[in-house]
Structure 1
């Protein structure tokens, strides 16, 4: 994946990694980390968010010298686990794997949400971005989007399609596609991408809208078949999978996964944590794993990441309103 990065982005990641050689000792001297760090994943195990979190947790634990414990807290479009972190003490000991669902889409979708996606958090580091991919059971007669549209129009109630949960970017991609194609579709939400993928492989649900990192291994193994990718161009890791645009639908979108903490974290701790995370994702092993997952490593400062979250909220709120979807 390193070869796919722009020179500027590559330089920023590598410089960040170089800058933290002495950071663990300094961080300890100033009182952080004070024991194990909890990294909350607001989805079930097995999905893109969980896979990315565990990669970061392993590397971060080695760098800071204390366990980084992944805790899965799924539910309510990733808002349940996110609320846990918003309510936590801002000491850097409790973090969340923030993502497009929890911090861009669900705030507009869930009427009873108690946190503000920008003001209730300290946004520390972007980790990875990736497209969505639509996969079908390998025994399905759906080979492309034209087949999907044809079968959906021939069905009285529309086809069933799974996702990691209501309000996810994959769910809204489905909504936008159905509007453009003029077809019905029955959304089947699961508590995470892992359970949804299991249902597709077992033939309980014919297809799924999934983020590429959690689907990549299943596509390579042939347990599912990819029919479309939401990237603007074909993905280099899966050059045989056509994009939505190639198949006549002007749709492109990317998901993102990042590290955030409660609002009010000490800026010095934020900077140290940011540098450590950048060092983790700069390692050759992380770069290789990201390439296997089909993701692109992130490179934003905490300030840039906070501005990015605000822009994402503004981008997705109109899409949620247009869909007419509300929860709670």
Structure 2
């Protein structure tokens, strides 16, 4: 039986999550259907455009993404503090960009005030909207629903397009985050639909490399800030150069069908995260196989179980195997 969403998402333990949505029936998100010989490649742009649009509204940062043939991978960062710092008016404005809101919220925005008798209702609605702005379930719902409607209209059919539940996986520490981001960024390469990471269409790594060539980081993706312990601003706790080198070395090993050995020239990030080269390759090519649920060091997993009052230490075997 699937774990309830409240068990899969625990902001006390981590703000980072790996989410996957998959198509049902013989539905193609994009790519070419060999049965009908019809191409659905244009749907990649639908997903990417919607995803980047939602990043402007929600207090949820996009760390990595890859739009595949019949599924989509995301690595997300939930910024609850940002949502709580928004003014009431900003909360309503953001929510109205994706939903109509209520008559009361519409009246408040148009007139700038509301009658005294409706203030309590308005405040309750704003609290609901504020909570939704850092809710991964609402983020995924507002990402998937428009895509499903557009795909069904194009296919001239009704019914489900996505599986009923998206997969959500907690990334409890830096090693798990780095491994999962690499796993997502190299998905097209492993699937044989791209020759190099930077030529993978509709992926975060392509967008990051394109921006890096212009001397900046992409606006709508979470930025790399280096070691977060060194009084750095909020962002991914690695240097982009280290991550790019790590991604390149990993992709070369996969591309050459090597046994998984990475020589002594591996970037410093591997040594800092304390992961062996063999373990790294296995993690970044079969991340979902090794971790069916929260991923991280045994200390991080134990902390999560204590927060959620779990007696069973989930994924402890994989944690001891891969995270030294």
Structure 2-normalised TM-score?
0.26
The higher relative CO (CA closer than 8 Å, separation ≥ 6) is in 1
Q: Which has the higher strand share?
A: 1
Q: Which has the higher helix share?
A: 2
> Which one has the largest radius of gyration?
2
